Amino acid sequence: MRIRRTHGILGGLLVALLGIWGGIIPFVGPYFHYAYTPDKAWTYTTGRLELEILPGAGALLGGLLLIAARSRYVCLFGALIAIASGAWFALGNVFAPLWTVAGPAGGPASTGTLMRAVEQVGFFTGLGIAIVMVAAAAAGRLSAVPSLRAVETVPVAEVPASREPVDDSVVDESETRVIR
């Protein structure tokens, strides 16, 4: 079940970068007026841990497994970790009221409607969907590509030698031209 090492590099790199973005943006976003409350740089809350840091770390781990793995099982495991992390980015705010009264991630810090939507997409929903899409594509590519063992053990069919000379031109009588 070995695979070429290049099969998961691009997808793994994208997933790892998106995981880094998701884990670090709540801390550096306030420098650029792109934040969720509390909109102070490097402020730690349990909501940030549960909804941003942990899924970001999971996506980073899944991406690193996709990059470094030489086994199909390890790559698929990394893709599944990344898919679960992306799903948590996208749906964590929806399920957060089950264990807390206040929204643990806070709210978009901007006052404009467009910027509030951009913050929601960039911090959670869009980020999660992007991670799920890239990790699922990497997992699909792994399941569609044959393993190294399967490629190496395919028997080569031998063509039997013919005793008669073979004419390599065929005449198409409908158009009376020679096709080679």
Q: Domain count for the chain, please give it.
A: 1
What mean pLDDT comes out for the span 87-109?
Answer: 83
What mean pLDDT comes out for the span 50-65?
Answer: 96
Average pLDDT, the chain: 83
Task: Evaluate if residue 2 carries a pLDDT over 60.
Answer: yes
Residue 170 lies in a domain: no
Comparing 92-96, 123-127, 163-167, which segment has the lowest mean pLDDT? 163-167
Residue 43 lies in a domain: yes
What mean pLDDT comes out for the span 111-115?
Answer: 92
CB 41 within 8 A of CB 30: yes
Assign 82 a pLDDT band (cuts: 50, 70, 90): very high
Residue 172 lies in a domain: no
Model pLDDT, residue 146:
60
Residue 164 lies in a domain: no
Residue 173 lies in a domain: no
Give 108's strand partners: 36
Residue 162 lies in a domain: no
Residue 108 lies in a domain: yes
Task: Evaluate if residue 106 carries a pLDDT over 60.
Answer: yes
Which token pair is 17?
A: 């970068």
Which token pair is 70?
A: 């030489």
Residue 79 lies in a domain: yes
On whether the pTM is more than 0.85, the answer is no
Structural domain boundaries enclosing 135: 5-152
Model pLDDT, residue 99:
81
